[in-house]
A and B are shown apart, each in its own frame.
Chain A
Amino acid sequence: MNINEALEDILPQVSKPTRYIGNEFNSVHKDKKQIKAHMVLAFPDVYEVGMCHLGIQILYHLLNEEQDVYAERVYAPWIDFEEKLREYKIPLFSLESKTPICEFDILGFTLQYEMSYSNVVNMLELSNIPIFSCDRTEEHPFVMAGGPCSYNPEPLAEIIDFFVIGEAEEVILELVELYKQNKYEGWPRRKFLEKVAEISGIYVPSLYEISYNEDKTIKEFIPKIQGIPTRIPKRIVKNLDEAYYPTNFIVPYMDIVHDRAVLEAFRGCTHGCRFCQAGMIYRPVREKTSKNLAKIAKDIIKSTGYGEISLASLSTSDYSELKQLVEVLTDEFRKCQVGLSLPSLRIDAFSLELAKKVQEIKKSGLTFAPEAGTQRLRDIINKGVTEDDLISSVRDAFSCGWKTVKLYFMIGLPGETYEDIEGIAKLAHKVVDVYKQVNGNVKGLKVTVSTSVFVPKPFTPFQWEPQLDLHEIEERQKFLKRLLKGKCINYNWHDGRLSFLEAVFARGDRRLNKALKIAHEKGCKFDGWNDMFDFDKWIAAFQEAGVSPEFYVYRKRELGEVLPWDIIDPGINKSFLVSELKKSHKGITSPDCRNNRCYGCGINRLGGGICGS
């Protein structure tokens, strides 16, 4: 049975069939006969999550602008659809042309979170592609990966053929050119891998041997051939304002998680929060001009018909032309009922005037992320926000009629005590008090406190720190729950076991590949979905693979240890991370380096950023 016929049968039997039909407005359809390189961009989660990802939209349209290149998409099939694929013996296929994934030239995964790794493996299996690189032959696609998790590629090093480090739109066309040459000249698989390793920003793990010390830490990375780098530098777009940006976003039929057009204002962040990987790896800060953004926004709405457009960046209020942009956009879109949303507003720079402007069209809740409950701990993590900042912003917001406030915190930060947990509750109650002062009562007020669990991440000053013991995390969550009483306060917390697993893979090494395969065989998938996550299966998988998850999660690394991600050069100096770690131990902050302070992170040698100008 061919795929289209099978789909006629299968689709009426599954939930949300729209996930698998493709044919969305602005999706690209090409004649496969005219194509020299056929790529499929894969997001290892379900459609409505994956469709929100900006990176794939950029790469998709960038690649499809090339006449002889065809980029399609695939998402992780939901459980019911996967069962049907297996029952009908249909391989995983692309959304656009319904081509089996195994027939593509290149399969590219984006790795946005560690909890999607089991889906990567599952999708390979559903595609009939061998899970380990070493088992693939000339008849299989090359399997590549990119995205933030690629900054520690090792837990997938035996599964992914090569990784793109940094911003893929800078590299991908170079890569495709090389692929075309490979196809034309009929290179053996290994030759292409050796050649692709010469492209700056590409890491081919099979070309590196790793030796270990007796204490199981890494001794060294040894390149197996000459001419490949000993460290892989990340690639970045130097001039973001001139960089390619699509306006013809694919418009889904179904309601996806963030169903709106995305306007990327800038990349990078200078605040230097010590827990934040994004704040480190996406440096330097590069902005687009508001003039350019206004034009792009107009074109996107014209091309997509979206009723909402959202600014995208790590910290919206840091955008230097924010005021002008918001004014232009709200004027432009008032008539056609397009709402503007400004996520990631920082409280210290929170501008009420802006929020009011946005409110003119659509009103949404306010979100603040103090991250820690006391000033002492906020200083340790370098979150440059004070309680006064928060309280005065909240007061202003309540005065303007806001009723819903979300407060985000982390539990298990290095140096955290029970006083800091109490601080979270105190802060939440203060917010309630402010509302009472403003409105005289608590009618309509909703304060949501959410705590995630701190996971130490590569290329952050806390990359050497252990994660807090799982039982202790659960104790602290319970403790906070008891303190957060009151009908207008809600408390949400993350499953600590999930964060434990995230911590394993975030700082794991090559020995985890085997565990991942075993976990997949035991049925682990969609680990980020609470109802799908099976912690016991994972623990059994680690045991069978002979690896200790505690080794990765609870061990404090020596500063001199060779870390699995040392093979990657993110442009940030290790000495900077060490100095930030030491400052954190003393509770010394490093205020935003945007204002003529330089802490020597080293990123300005890459050029393009605001600190180079």
Chain B
Amino acid sequence: MVVRLKYEKNDPVKFISHLDTIRVFERAMRRASLPVAFTKGFTPRPKFSFASALSVGITSSCEFMDVEFNETISVDEIVTRLNSTLPNGFKVVKAGVPDENIQLSMINYAIYAIKLVYEDISKEDLENAIKDLLDREEIIIEKKSKGKVKKKNIAQNIDYMNIRELLKDGAMIELGVIGQGGNAPIVAIILELQKIIKMNLKIKFINREDLFIKKVCEIIYPL
């Protein structure tokens, strides 16, 4: 049976990479004596599939993975047992048998909350800077991979950005990202914003709050 898990990746484990996260779940399931199915062949691997990888340094209250089990087992039992064997910082919040037509690879939308800390920036200035950024046809991000610098326009991936809340020392920003499995180079986007506003914006935290499938006039939640 395939079970879909929704889990949180919180502050203590936010620097753990996607590959490390896979290992965390494999080991937690073994500690919990859950009957995970393995691939056949040279190096057997647990039958996991994940939604898009979360960037290192970002927390999330909404991550998904599918797990195949060799035996039928109640989803509540899975949640209870896993939460007792997962390291501090990981928490399974929901589990269920997924609709076959809704695959994790279809996820294309994410909502992020970003806490920015700054000095002497008015609400208007910040709003105008965000508007400037959203109006741009091109937001070019440089990405280094294998020694080469690749340039990419990510303007189309930013669906919306707004100030959710003004805080004493900064603001909470909300960002909707479309495409690429809900991933976006958040730090680079804030850097662009900083260039527009010409003041120092310090990122206090980034949290992925929601992850779903957005169609033209419909939103589908994976679980």
Query: Contact residue range for chain A?
Result: 20 to 34
| Cross-chain contact A18 with B31 (CB below 8 angstroms) | no
Say yes or no for B87: interface residue by CB 8 A criterion.
yes
Contact present for B87 and A303 (CB under 8 Å)? no
Q: Which residues of B contact A306 (CB under 8 A)?
A: 27, 30
> Chain B residues with Cβ under 8 A from A25's Cβ?
27-28, 87
Among A23, A25, A254, A305, find the residue whose CB has the most chain B CB atoms closer than 10 A.
Answer: A305
Q: Which residues of A from 300 to 346 have beta carbons under 8 Å from B?
A: 301-307, 336-338
A33 to B13, CA, bound (A): 26
- A to B CB contacts below 8 Å, 9 in the list: A18-B17, A21-B16, A251-B27, A253-B87, A301-B30, A305-B27, A305-B30, A305-B85, A362-B44
A318: shortest Cβ distance to chain B, in Å?
Answer: 29
Query: Known pairs A12-B56, A304-B31, A305-B85. 14 more at Cβ < 8 A?
Result: A12-B57, A12-B187, A17-B57, A18-B20, A21-B12, A21-B13, A23-B13, A23-B89, A253-B20, A255-B23, A305-B27, A307-B30, A337-B44, A337-B46
Which residues of A sit under 8 angstroms from B87, Cβ to Cβ? 23-25, 251, 253
Q: Which residues of B contact A21 (CB under 8 A)?
A: 12-13, 15-16
B160: interface (CB < 8 Å): no
Known pairs A23-B89, A254-B20; A305 contacts B15 (CB<8 A): no
Q: How many A-B residue pairs have CB under 8 A?
A: 67
Instruction: Give CA–CA (A23, B16) in the complex, Å.
Output: 11
Chain A residues contacting B89 (CB-CB under 8 Å) are 23
Inter-chain contact B26/A17, CB cutoff 8 Å? no
- Taking a contact as CB atoms under 8 Å apart, the answer to whether A253 and B24 are in contact is yes
Smallest CB–CB gap between B48 and chain A, Å?
A: 13
**A11 within 8 A of partner (CB):** yes
| Interface residue? B54 (CB, 8 A) | no
A555 within 8 A of B: no
- Interface size in chain B (residues, C-beta < 8 A): 29
CB neighbours of B24 from chain A (8 A): 253
Expressed in whole angstroms, the Cα–Cα distance for A301 and B85 within the complex equals 13
A336 to B57 alpha-carbon distance, docked (Å): 32
The distance in angstroms between the C-alpha atoms of A254 and B23, with both chains bound, is 9
Given A23-B12, A25-B87, are A302 and B26 also a contact pair (CB < 8 Å)? no
Partner of B26, one of A12, A254, A255, A307: A307
Q: Which of B41-99 contact A (CB under 8 A)?
A: 42-44, 46, 56-57, 85, 87-89
Question: Across the interface, do A11 and B57 meet the contact criterion of CB distance under 8 Å?
Answer: yes
**CA distance in complex: A336, B30 (Å):** 7
CB contacts (< 8 Å) of B187 on chain A: these are 12
A363 within 8 Å of B (CB atoms): yes
Asked whether, in the complex, the Cβ of B38 is within 8 Å of the Cβ of A304, the reply is no
Which residues in A have their C-beta under 8 angstroms from that of B193? Answer: none
Tell me, rounded to whole Å, the shortest Cβ–Cβ distance linking A95 to chain B. Answer: 12
Give A250 to B20 CA distance when docked, in angstroms: 15
Known: A21-B15, A254-B20, A363-B42. A303 touches B27 (CB 8 A): no
C-alpha gap A86/B117 in the complex (Å): 25
Residues of B within 8 A of A11 (CB): 15, 57
